[in-house]
Amino acid sequence: MDPITGQPRLLTGDRPTGLLHLGHYIGSMRHRVALQSRYECFFLVADLHMLTTKPGKDDILKIAELARAIVLDNLAAGLDPQRVTFYLQSAVHEVYELQLLLSGMITVERLQQLPTLKDMARAAGMEQMPYNLLGYPVLQAADILTPRAHVVPVGKDNESHVELARQIARRFNNAYGEVFPLPEPYVIGDALVGTDGQAKMSKSLDNAIFLSDDSRTVHRKVMGMYTDPNRIRADIPGNVEGNPVFAYHDAFNPDHAAVAELKARYRLGQVGDVEVKESLYTALETFLAPIRERRARFADDTGHVDELLFEGTARTREEAGRTLLAAKQAMGLTGVWNRISRAAERRRKKGAGAAGVP
């Protein structure tokens, strides 16, 4: 429970690096949607995190447009603007301050051992680790602790970062007094493979189906999906395991009996890839229909998303101010300045000489 509002809190967010796809949906968006009624929710557009791998001015100039698109993607996926506070991370300066205060709670060695950071550096073509990329999880901890969140739904690749935020919160509380609830990661399910069958779905690998793709694009991408490469004819028994078409059927086709039957026929060589893909296309269209409908509704009212982000950011700044003050008070930092400024004030009132004159 939050001591002020009496409700447990949830925080999550995305970097504004691209549009959201089916992999994001399976990895974390569906959990956000399912959990939103039980928590007071905060959702950040993590543009400061984007700067760790894309610091160029041209990338920064695209943030506003992508921030809108990401909020719209999340609204389309079913997040309720009445329940969720959307905000822009870079506009909440308290987060920058909190990150510095938290940075003493973790060692460089611990951060250097995280595989996620090495992966990100490699993917961005960086030979050396920038200081802000090493601090990525500390900034993420600052995000999570800013509204004093209890639960953090993320994809598997971010689980270690939430664990780290928990460790940072525990250490802070032990060192200075109870300020932060200990956040829990909420991670269910594995990453979704790409349409090419490689690793995971990702915009940069060009193997993604986006939540904003239209029907024709979805059809083209599904028909082009990688399947069992050994199956050159429909009457050759095929492999269901590791076949992305069936992975997507499992994830998006609610008709489990029909999927089981397709799998059985596929294994026996009694169904062609085209039929399996057409039925996946139909399932995806059914899944995307309400998402498209909500998107159209929100997109209709231009400016609505900006207003949500604007108001959410203002609301988050108030929260962040309270948290930062509590952290500084617990550390005794506010007292340092108070003592000095009060003493200076007293001296000025006494009419003593200017500073520097003994």
Q: Which residues bind ligand TRP (CB under 6 A)?
A: 11-15, 46, 49, 140, 143-144, 152, 154, 158
Question: Residue 346: enclosing H or E segment and its boundaries?
Answer: helix 333-349
CB of 136 to ligand TRP, least distance (A): 7
DSSP structure class, residue 132: H
* Best CA proximity match to 86, nearest among 8, 162, 13, 6: 13
Element holding 59 (H helix, E strand): helix 57-60
CA distance 76 to 3: 32
For ligand TRP, which is the closer residue by CB, 49 or 277?
A: 49
Rounded least distance, CB 18 to ligand TRP, Å: 10
CB of 154 to ligand TRP, least distance (A): 5
Nearer to ligand TRP, 138 or 288 (CB): 138
3-class state of residue 208 by DSSP: coil
Of the pair 9, 249, the CB lying nearest ligand TRP is at: 9
d(CA 314, CA 204): 33
Looking at beta carbons only, is 32 or 221 nearer to ligand TRP? 32
Query: Whole-number minimum distance, CB 130 to ligand TRP, in Å?
Result: 16
Cβ–Cβ < 8 Å for 184, 41 = no
| Closest CB 184 distance from ligand TRP, rounded Å | 12
Residue at 143: amino acid letter: D
Cβ closer to ligand TRP: 136 or 246? 136
C-alpha distances out from residue 121 to 63, 86, 130, 169, Å: 21, 28, 8, 26
Nearest to ligand TRP of 132, 239 (CB atom): 132
| Inter-residue long-range contacts of 249-258, CB under 8 Å, 24+ positions, other chains counted | 249/276, 249/279, 249/280, 249/283, 251/22, 251/26, 251/192, 252/22, 252/280, 252/283, 252/284, 252/287, 253/279, 253/280, 253/283, 254/283, 255/283
Continuous segment of H or E residues that includes residue 85? strand 84-88
In the complex, residue closest to ligand TRP by CB: 46
Angle at 177 between CA 173 and CA 180, to 5 degrees: 45
Q: How far is the CB of 157 from ligand TRP (least distance, A)?
A: 7
Residue closer to ligand TRP by CB (options 140, 227) is 140
Measure the CA–CA gap between 14 and 300, rounded to whole angstroms: 23
> At closest approach, how far in Å is the CB of 83 from ligand TRP?
17
CB of 276 to ligand TRP, least distance (A): 32
